């Protein structure tokens, strides 16, 4: 019942119907709080607080303004997580790199063989550098998870995608990334200490 109520309220927006159903349930004999006994003492309890509380309420939905929407120069800027915008389309999206265990750009760099005294490390192709990924089955879970999240985030905008990343995470790849040198990205030189010329 609890899952059903939560799902109907959160997903289907049936708040009033759920509230009425909860009131009916609390007043029914199915509700464990109306009458139940302690098996050790065989003492019958009557818990009426839930019933009194729910009956004293009048259901009313308050419209809560979204704290994530900013308005600047008549342009609405909506700050949301990737999960919240899945399936939506926007004119422009600013994807800000996050760190969950490690930064996203670093998770995409997967070392398949560690460096030894005689051999350098072997790194799998990196999709961020426009290379076809070769992540291994049953391995590289964080890289695959990151790639899926980036796909959802990067595929939202119709006109402009801005990817905000720490310079230190991509400084070794600036030449490969910069569109003037064959890469896919236009790097805003005003925001970089190291520029791609």
So what's the pLDDT on residue 195? 47
The pLDDT assigned to 79 comes to 82
Please tell me the predicted confidence (pLDDT) of residue 142: 85
Q: Which of 176, 181, 174, 180 lies closest to 195, judged by CA?
A: 174
Burial (Cβ within 10 Å: 0-12, 13-18, ≥19) of residue 34: middle
Rounded Cα distance between 7 and 2, Å, is 8
Tell me how crowded residue 167 is: count the other CB atoms within 10 A of its CB.
Answer: 12
Per-residue model confidence (pLDDT) at position 59: 63
Cβ proximity of 89 and 152 under 8 Å: no
Tens of each residue's pLDDT in the chain, 197 residues:
777 788 777 777 788 888 888 878 777 766 655 455 555 544 444 556 666 776 776 666 555 555 577 777 887 788 888 888 888 888 888 888 888 888 888 888 887 778 888 888 888 877 777 778 777 777 888 888 888 888 888 898 999 988 888 888 888 888 888 888 877 788 887 776 544 55
**Per-residue model confidence (pLDDT) at position 47:** 55
Q: Model pTM?
A: 0.56
Q: 47-51 — which CB contacts under 8 Å span 24+ positions?
A: 50/26, 51/26, 51/27
Answer for the pair 28, 3: CB distance below 8 angstroms, yes or no. Answer: no
Exposed, middle or buried, 52 (CB in 10 Å: 0-12/13-18/19+)? exposed
Residue of 168, 160, 192 lying closest to 178 (CA atoms): 192
């Amino acid at each position: 019942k609890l899952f059903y109520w939560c799902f109907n309220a959160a997903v289907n927006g049936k708040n009033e119907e759920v509230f009425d159903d909860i009131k009916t349930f609390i007043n029914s004999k199915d509700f464990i709080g109306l009458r139940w006994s302690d098996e050790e003492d065989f003492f019958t309890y009557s818990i009426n607080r839930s019933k009194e509380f729910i009956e004293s309420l009048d259901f009313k939905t308050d419209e809560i303004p979204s704290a994530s929407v900013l308005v600047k120069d008549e342009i609405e800027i909506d700050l949301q997580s990737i999960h919240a915008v899945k399936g939506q389309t926007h004119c422009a999206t600013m994807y800000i790199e996050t760190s969950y265990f490690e930064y996203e750009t670093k998770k995409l760099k997967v070392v398949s063989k560690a460096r030894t005294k005689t051999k350098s490390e072997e790194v799998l192709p990196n999709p961020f550098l426009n290379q076809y990924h070769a992540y291994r089955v049953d391995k590289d879970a964080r890289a695959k998870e990151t790639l899926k999240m980036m796909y959802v985030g990067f595929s939202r905008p119709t006109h402009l995608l801005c990817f905000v990343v720490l310079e230190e995470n991509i400084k070794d790849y600036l030449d490969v990334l910069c569109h003037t040198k064959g890469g896919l990205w236009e790097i805003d030189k005003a925001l970089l200490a190291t520029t791609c010329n």
